[in-house]
Amino acid sequence: MIAANNHYAGFGPGTSNLFRKMVGLSELSWADQQQQIQERLRLLQLRRQHQQNEEISNSNMSSNNHTEKRQSSLTEFIE
């Protein structure tokens, strides 16, 4: 387990890169990671919007197909 304070780089991921350099690992590009995260979030939002639209469409279809039944009176049959 490793504990670090982001005070050294002023940016938590930057501190991680300082440690990676100290142990002989390559630095990570946080800009690339940020772009990937933003793209994933955009896709999740689109998927949620699509699901909501389907739910609304399905509820509208079921409400359109639903007709209320009521008791008929004898006079309606005679007319």
Residues 21-63: tens digit of each pLDDT: 999 999 888 777 778 888 999 999 999 999 988 888 887 776 6
pLDDT value of residue 7: 67
Dist. CA 33–CA 40, nearest whole Å: 11
pLDDT averaged over every residue in the chain: 79
pLDDT value of residue 45: 93
Q: Higher model confidence: residue 3 or residue 6? A: 3
Domain that holds residue 30: 1-51
CA distances to 13, 14, 28, 52, 70 from 65, in Å: 56, 59, 56, 20, 16
| 20 occurs within a structural domain | yes
- Has this prediction a pTM greater than 0.85? no
| 18 occurs within a structural domain | yes
| 24 occurs within a structural domain | yes
Instruction: Tally the domains of the chain.
Output: 1
| 6 occurs within a structural domain | yes
